[in-house]
């Protein structure tokens, strides 16, 4: 079992999120209709929906609720993929399946905020909108096309020109952009802990510090072994995303886990913050080496980035992201200080799409949200629940695809650092053209 316990330093979220429900390790054996591996958004949303349908369900989490991406991410609720637009999805999956997937994505932010409201989840939820500004004139043209495709599908989006983006973000460097009004931001750890509470109230069982060590056939179902016991289940949902370990080696090798660093500034004076993202939007722009920012309720800016080298990551991150922050919001002046720095792993797929797989008969997974899994993993949980409840997996909102491993995947993580340098070069070149 290769769960990374090297532990990121404490995140801002670990200090500000309300505590999660009390949970303990699995001790002994039990039988359930559905077993879920992984206590992130996808696993807990699956458990919630299975329990609401009146079936018994147990979640087995290797470490704690939100140990993975769900507890460490930036908190942006985004109803879009990193690259693909509805036309790309239709081209890949056909008209009907492509549109179904695109609608699932477009509706994922509203779905997530609805879950938060319905279950009274305390996670500083702000459905103020998500904006994707374009960092070059060429990207602004692509933004407009992006807008047209999502609008055609019925998504609540707008295209903004450079001036409008400037007014909305307080940043003068952008040339246009896409606004998704159903998006926004949350305290991500608060959300995942709240989902755990909602799943428990609906009747699910949750066991933490319970890594699944093996999954073996038993009768018509599967036996999942943990250090303290075993769960026997008719159906299994694997919801481990970038944190997939050797439990299903092919699954682990179907993605590249890429480290993403996060940080939070000191609390800023209200008059200063009123000129940075003044309407409290979440922002992730069009740079390949992504720029992303949003403000928190305690008046910090949460941002971060990728690094080509991990050595001395904290000081290098302070310098690089501090400069970036000042270049986008010069009003910050020279004295930006970072109070928190942490990291997590993002699951990248070769086509930048999330993948829905049947791992074995009765075992399904969604993996590879490519850094856009906050809202989408919550929405995917409902789809995974449908699969576990006996709906035909070939007729769900996520199209099933064959599980394929990435050749030389072990090298790919190292290669991703070189890829980052290429991304930066391309980003700079694009602005100069
Ligand atoms: C630093 C960072 C920033 C991000 N920012 C954003 C953002 O702003 N917006 C956005 O939309 N997305 C963002 N993402 C992506 C998003 O966080 C993920 O896509 C999302 O968390 C995936 O949810 P999940 O439930 O599938 O997996 P996770 O939340 O990663 O949970 C997987 C869980 O599986 C557990 N697990 C693994 N193996 C086992 C085992 N053998 N037995 C039991 N449990 C196991 C792990 O411990 C982990 O808790 C970011 C990700 C990171 C890392």
Q: Is 43 in the pocket of ligand 1 (CB under 6 A)?
A: yes
Compute, in angstroms, the gap from residue 374 CA to the centroid of ligand 1: 8
Mutate which of 251, 374, 378 for ligand 1? The one with the most ligand atoms within 8 Å of its CB, which is 374
Ligand 1 atom nearest the C-alpha of 211 is: 42
The reported pTM is: 0.96
pLDDT on residue 432:
62
pLDDT tens digits, the chain, 433 residues: what are they? Answer: 444 545 788 999 999 999 999 999 999 999 999 999 999 999 999 999 999 999 999 999 999 999 999 999 999 999 999 989 999 999 999 999 999 999 999 999 999 999 999 999 999 999 999 999 999 999 999 999 999 999 999 999 999 999 999 999 999 999 999 999 999 999 999 999 999 999 999 999 999 999 999 999 999 999 999 999 999 999 999 999 999 999 999 999 999 999 999 999 999 999 999 999 999 999 999 999 999 999 999 999 999 998 888 888 899 999 999 999 999 999 998 878 999 999 999 999 999 999 999 999 999 999 999 999 999 999 999 999 999 999 998 899 999 999 999 887 777 777 777 777 788 878 887 766 5
Ligand 1 atom nearest the C-alpha of 212 is: 42
Compute, in angstroms, the gap from residue 160 CA to the centroid of ligand 1: 31
Contact of 295 with 269, CB cutoff 8 Å: no
What structural domains and CATH numbers belong to the chain? Answer: 16-73+189-254+351-402 (3.50.50.60), 130-181 (no CATH), 256-348+412-433 (3.30.9)
The conformational region for residue 40 under phi > 0 = left, psi -120 to 50 = alpha, else beta, is beta
Q: Is 305 in the pocket of ligand 1 (CB under 6 A)?
A: no
Q: Is 69 in the pocket of ligand 1 (CB under 6 A)?
A: yes
pLDDT on residue 420:
78
Q: Is 157 in the pocket of ligand 1 (CB under 6 A)?
A: no
Q: Is 260 in the pocket of ligand 1 (CB under 6 A)?
A: yes
Compute, in angstroms, the gap from residue 97 CA to the centroid of ligand 1: 26
Regarding beta strands 355-360 and 301-305, do their DSSP bridges make them parallel or antiparallel, or are they unpaired? Answer: unpaired
Mutate which of 371, 372, 376 for ligand 1? The one with the most ligand atoms within 8 Å of its CB, which is 371
Compute, in angstroms, the gap from residue 10 CA to the centroid of ligand 1: 16
Mutate which of 68, 115, 285, 294 for ligand 1? The one with the most ligand atoms within 8 Å of its CB, which is 68
Identify the residue whose C-alpha is closest to ligand 1 atom 4.
73
Q: Is 342 in the pocket of ligand 1 (CB under 6 A)?
A: no
Residues 6+ apart with CB under 8 A from 171: 133, 165, 283, 328, 329
Compute, in angstroms, the gap from residue 255 CA to the centroid of ligand 1: 13
Compute, in angstroms, the gap from residue 203 CA to the centroid of ligand 1: 23
pLDDT on residue 2:
44
Sign of the dihedral through C-alpha 190, 191, 197, 201: positive
Q: Is 78 in the pocket of ligand 1 (CB under 6 A)?
A: yes
Compute, in angstroms, the gap from residue 373 CA to the centroid of ligand 1: 8
Euclidean distance between CA atoms 12 and 118, whole angstroms: 25
Mutate which of 241, 262, 368, 383 for ligand 1? The one with the most ligand atoms within 8 Å of its CB, which is 241
């Amino acid at each position: 079992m290769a769960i990374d316990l090297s532990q990121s330093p404490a995140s801002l979220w670990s200090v500000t999120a309300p505590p999660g429900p009390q949970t303990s390790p699995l001790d002994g054996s039990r039988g359930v209709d559905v077993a879920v591996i992984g206590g992130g958004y996808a696993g807990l949303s699956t458990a919630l929906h299975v329990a609401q349908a009146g079936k018994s369900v147990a979640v087995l989490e290797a470490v704690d609720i939100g140990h993975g991406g769900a507890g460490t991410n930036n908190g942006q609720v985004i109803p879009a993929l990193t690259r693909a637009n509805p036309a790309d999805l239709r081209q890949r999956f056909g008209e009907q399946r492509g549109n179904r997937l695109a609608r699932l994505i477009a509706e994922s932010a509203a779905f997530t905020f609805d879950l938060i409201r319905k279950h009274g989840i305390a996670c500083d939820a702000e459905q103020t909108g998500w904006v994707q500004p374009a960092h070059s004139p060429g990207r602004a043209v692509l933004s407009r096309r992006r807008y047209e495709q999502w609008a055609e599908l019925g998504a609540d989006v707008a295209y903004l020109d450079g001036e409008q983006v400037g007014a909305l973000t307080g940043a003068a460097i952008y040339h246009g952009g896409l606004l998704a009004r159903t998006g926004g931001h949350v305290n991500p750890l608060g959300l995942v802990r709240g989902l755990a509470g909602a799943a428990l109230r609906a009747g699910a069982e949750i066991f933490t510090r319970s890594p699944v060590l093996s999954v073996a056939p038993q009768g018509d179902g599967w036996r999942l072994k943990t250090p303290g016991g075993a769960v026997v289940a008719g159906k299994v949902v694997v919801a481990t995303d970038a944190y997939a370990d050797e439990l299903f080696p092919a699954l682990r090798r179907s993605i590249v886990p890429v480290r993403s660093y996060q940080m939070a500034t000191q609390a800023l004076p209200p008059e200063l913050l009123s000129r940075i993202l003044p309407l409290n939007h979440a922002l992730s722009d069009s740079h390949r080496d992504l720029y992303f920012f949003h403000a928190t309720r305690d008046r910090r800016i949460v941002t971060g980035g990728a690094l080509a080298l991990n050595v001395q990551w904290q000081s290098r991150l302070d310098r690089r992201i501090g400069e970036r922050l000042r270049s986008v919001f010069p009003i910050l002046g020279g004295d930006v200080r970072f109070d928190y720095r942490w990291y997590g792993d993002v699951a990248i797929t070769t086509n930048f799409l999330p993948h829905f797989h049947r791992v074995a008969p009765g075992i399904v997974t969604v993996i590879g949200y490519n850094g856009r899994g906050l809202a989408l993993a919550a929405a995917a949980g409902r789809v995974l629940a449908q699969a576990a409840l006996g709906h035909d997996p070939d007729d769900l909102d996520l199209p099933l695809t064959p599980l394929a491993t990435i050749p030389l995947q072990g090298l790919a993580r190292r290669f991703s650092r070189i890829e980052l340098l290429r991304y930066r070069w391309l980003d700079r070149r694009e602005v100069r053209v």
